[in-house]
Structure 1
Amino acid sequence: MTQHFSARSFLPLLGLGLLGTFSCTKETPTPTASLNASTTQQDAQASAGFVLRAKQYIIIASGDQLPGNIEALTTAANGKVTSHLQEVGLAIATSDDPDFATKAAKISGVRSVVHDFTYQGFEPQQSRVAEQASDNVNPSSTGDSNPLFPLQWGATAIQAPEAWNTGNQGQGVLVADLDGGFELNHPDLKPNILGSMSFVPGESAQFAGGSLAFSHGTHTAGTIAAVDNNIGVIGIAPQAKLLLVKVLGDAGSGSFSWLIQGIVYATQQHADVINMSLGAAIPHHDKYIDDAGNVVNDTKAIQELLVALSKATSYATKNGVTLIAAAGNDANNGNQDKSLVNIPADATGVISISATAPIGWALAPLTANLDRFASYSNYGTPAVTFAAPGGDFAYPGNEIVIFRGVRQYVWALDMVLSTGRVLKVNGVPRAYYTWAAGTSMATPHATGVAALIIGKNGGNMDPARVEAALRASADDLGKPGRDPYYGYGRVNAYRAVAQPN
């Protein structure tokens, strides 16, 4: 399912310090500037690293809760509980006994015991196209003083500046961003970070970096709530607070048990919205490779994994948390190909987001269609609930333009610009910014709009009301009503806060 592309060159950016990575082969022109080298990142969700963890298990209750003495009962079955998620009727366990699942499944009150899996939560992919017109002009607004705001076409597409001008900027809202590591000291994020947590063993929430040029979590967090500080970019809900929860390694790989624990944690921390710019497209079959390289038959693995995840998402929605996830970047037609389950987008109560993007925006900024369906995005009914700006890499040329003070490739400017790495230059930390494309980039746009809605209504808003408000305010760009590409429509920030909800 995963399609990999060769590296595409990127132009240095006249001192703006824009950093990132990308895919899709293009010729390499000779740069005429030599300040800060930059690249771009194409995001994706795919199951390239989908591996059964032979000694790691998820114990699933038949009802709302596991037995109170589940730790002792698990020990008697030759296992050890490492995390008891009592609120959702799940436990995470380890065992060296190959018969542990069979033994533990016989415990009274246990529905099933399923192996945990690792998956690749973001990684390069492609997709498909559809067209619509849009208004590409921003009014004067609070965002204008941020130097890189003119490059954020996604804010224009969903009328975020008009929404800010009503006074609604996400005040009083807590958004949990479940992702890889985060640059916790990025100046566009730090003032809005309320807390951070990691469920990746041995790793903190801080992005470790190393050889990685792109911080996926930092990018999504910036789109949600980069602060209005006159430094770089601005988030869709610039006054919302961020709870940054690491559930994937910095390179995008993680276990489903980490994701489940992250959802429960964010709910217990009273998050209003959970953003999940991650996922895996998993085939409905009964043979998997385990982490020892063995082929394992497990006829109910995916069904039960989805049950476990849905216990966590149901717990979140019952406690007032709106859940928003990426639809995926496999260009999969969910109406025809039903061989895949997209996790977490297909879990109970989760709003799924497809991606839109212009082609050649920098060449016609006032007339370019910002709502074209992105070339990589999954689609289908009911696979997609809403659409949002996710960027694209499909522009066929390799022209360089000077656009709003930035000298850059045309194709790069069609992607989403947000917060990136913090790197030392001559020993001094310096904030960078990254272009990226994917449904992972679309999801935080929708999450930001949800935060605006919740803030307007004073917080503590029922998820069903939030979704209804998103639906009532979305621009219906495809066929009337719900369609496979845009779902109920592309989210609209201004309409979301201007109308009663």
Structure 2
Amino acid sequence: MKSVLKIAFATSLVTFPLAASAETFVVLGTPGANLDAAVTAAGGRIKKRLASIDVVVAEGGSGFRAAVGGKAGVAAVAADRKIKWIPKGERAVFRDADVVNPPNNPAGIDPRFNLQWGHTAIKAVDAWKMGYEGHGARVAVLDGGFQLNHPDIAGRYDPSCTADMTGEGIAYGPNSDDDTGIFAHGMHTAGTIGAARNGVGTIGVAPKATLCLVKVLFNSGSGSFEDVAAGIIYAADRSVDVISMSLGGSLQKSEEGASTLRQLIDRAVSYAYKKGALVIVSAGNDGQSADSPKTTGTPANLIHLPSDSPQAISISATAPHGWGKNQNVFLDNPASYTNYGRSVINLAGPGGDYTPSVTGDCTVAGVTRPCYIFDFVFSTGAANSYYWSIGTSMATPHVSGVAALIVSKYGKMHPAKLRAYLNAGADDLGVSAHDPYYGNGRVNAARSLSK
């Protein structure tokens, strides 16, 4: 197998050595502007070019921002920043290493498929029976680190479109939040989309889709705006059909530079859209309504990115209550933590939830755990392991997987058309037409493939 790029270099993405002591800025230009000249004249130095969206990342001293802001062709400038992009609360519980020798499962189904209630909710099996498993679809997963030799991932990703934007290295490893180095947020989301049907572990929603694994966040879940934007552009330049982003960062609208950083992400998402990629992102885990905030001024004064980008699809989370005790329970309760609001939610997907009232131990498919755990989403982790987790981050890859199934049937299409298939096939739950929790509905693979 080819080695994976450690740093991405494309015609639109060029990097330069970083000085030891200088602040980093994103400089947004007008179309055709000579940003190199503007940066040099302001006493700065180019660190990275994102020419596709008329942006450069530059380093400069204390007077650089004011100096470059007055140059011809410069539309906006702001200090780049590193923030936490992995929504709060998304930690794994209960490693499950026993994934190879399960109790009785149907022939051709991987050992732990029967723990994946989300596939039932979105009618993934019905889509497979129709003959569509994601073949021909390319899905970029932008996240933290990945274990490339994981048995459920190794045969599913394309090394030519897999890269690290952070400089930390593509692999997931121990960090302050996970000193075991086992729970990898990126692995969990990638496995939900495309874990192989191979007699091991779990199965992705689109097990024959090709994954492009792009590390834009450090293993801790933090990352810079420049790396996230660069990752979107990198993926868009590699003919992907879907860009799946189980991440989100919030800024106060009043913060200095917030508007510029939003423009940076908006430009990157718009570029991906124009290149033919549908960007699917998590709505966030704050349990907040964008229509009637629970806390005065919040989130009315917040920018949540990338989900606030006009051409991104924002995903809320659903979950069962007590599925470990009764597999016939309703699977589509709005998750307690999910952000919601008619103005922000486009579609819903299985994200799991924690329900304290679900007590005792349960056994499902030969696995015995506290009953509440089975309401979580089960997927791949690092160190050849599998984990349960909850969050809008877990809902997003379910939707991305359904999008891949649609592409496997109808072929490559404009993102607007792919979005229309998702909307048309979604189950209209809650308030008719557009619900604050479900948006246009919880995705349904079989219905989308029947349109």
TM-score by length of 1: 0.79
| Unpaired segments ≥5 residues, structure 2 | 1-20, 91-104, 294-299
**Is 1:440 matched up with 2:404?**
no
1:349 maps to which residue? Answer: 311
Distance 1:402 1:183 in 2: 29
- Contact 1:209–1:215 (CA<8 Å) still a contact in 2? no
Is the alpha carbon distance of 1:228 and 1:109 closer, same or farther for their aligned partners in structure 2, counting shifts above 3 Å? Answer: same
Q: Within 5 Å, give how 1:251-400 maps onto structure 2.
A: 251-286=220-255, 298=256, 301-337=257-293, 338-366=300-328, 368-400=329-361
What displacement does 1:281 show? 2.5
| Unpaired segments ≥5 residues, structure 1 | 1-52, 127-140, 287-297, 423-430
Bigger mean CA deviation after superposition, 71-80 or 232-241 = 71-80
2:378 maps to which residue? Answer: 417
**Is 1:470 matched up with 2:422?**
yes
What displacement does 1:123 show? 4.5
For 1:205, the aligned partner's letter is: I
2:6 maps to which residue? Answer: none
- Contact 2:144–2:215 (CA<8 Å) still a contact in 1? yes
What whole-Å deviation, never above 9, does each CA across 1:380-422 have from its counterpart, x for those lacking one?
0121000000011124244112222101111111000000121
**Is 1:497 matched up with 2:411?**
no
Is the alpha carbon distance of 1:323 and 1:454 closer, same or farther for their aligned partners in structure 2, counting shifts above 3 Å? Answer: same
**Is 1:118 matched up with 2:82?**
yes
Q: Percent identity?
A: 41
Is the alpha carbon distance of 1:224 and 1:143 closer, same or farther for their aligned partners in structure 2, counting shifts above 3 Å? Answer: farther
Distance 2:289 2:211 in 1: 33
2:364 maps to which residue? Answer: 403
| Structure 1: 4+ residue segments shifted above 6 A | none
1:84 maps to which residue? Answer: 49
Which of 440, 443, 448 aligns to 1:488? It is 440
Secondary structure of the structure 2 residue equivalent to 1:101: helix
Q: Within 5 Å, give how 1:46-195 maps onto structure 2.
A: 55-62=23-30, 64-67=31-34, 70-95=35-60, 97-125=61-89, 145-195=109-159
TM-score by length of 2: 0.87
- Contact 1:142–1:164 (CA<8 Å) still a contact in 2? no
1:290 maps to which residue? Answer: none
For 1:493, the aligned partner's letter is: A
1:479 maps to which residue? Answer: 431
- Contact 1:143–1:234 (CA<8 Å) still a contact in 2? no
Distance 1:108 1:143 in 2: 66
- Contact 1:322–1:463 (CA<8 Å) still a contact in 2? yes
**Is 1:209 matched up with 2:162?**
no
Is the alpha carbon distance of 1:256 and 1:239 closer, same or farther for their aligned partners in structure 2, counting shifts above 3 Å? Answer: same
1:451 maps to which residue? Answer: 404
For 2:189, the aligned partner's letter is: T
Give the count of matched residue pairs: 405
- Contact 1:142–1:161 (CA<8 Å) still a contact in 2? no
Is the alpha carbon distance of 1:65 and 1:324 closer, same or farther for their aligned partners in structure 2, counting shifts above 3 Å? Answer: farther
Distance 1:315 1:78 in 2: 29
Distance 2:119 2:345 in 1: 21
What displacement does 1:308 show? 1.3
- Contact 1:267–1:319 (CA<8 Å) still a contact in 2? yes
Distance 2:149 2:173 in 1: 12
Distance 2:331 2:83 in 1: 32
1:44 maps to which residue? Answer: none
1:14 maps to which residue? Answer: none
Distance 2:261 2:204 in 1: 34
- Contact 2:24–2:59 (CA<8 Å) still a contact in 1? yes
For 1:312, the aligned partner's letter is: A
What displacement does 1:152 show? 0.1
What displacement does 1:78 show? 1.3
Distance 1:450 1:317 in 2: 14
Secondary structure of the structure 2 residue equivalent to 1:407: strand
Distance 2:211 2:107 in 1: 19
Which of 193, 197, 200 aligns to 2:166? It is 200
What whole-Å deviation, never above 9, does each CA across 1:47-72 have from its counterpart, x for those lacking one?
xxxxxx9811111012x3432xx324
Distance 1:216 1:142 in 2: 29
Secondary structure of the structure 2 residue equivalent to 1:391: coil
Distance 2:25 2:327 in 1: 52
- Contact 1:56–1:93 (CA<8 Å) still a contact in 2? yes
Distance 1:348 1:121 in 2: 19
Distance 1:356 1:66 in 2: 45
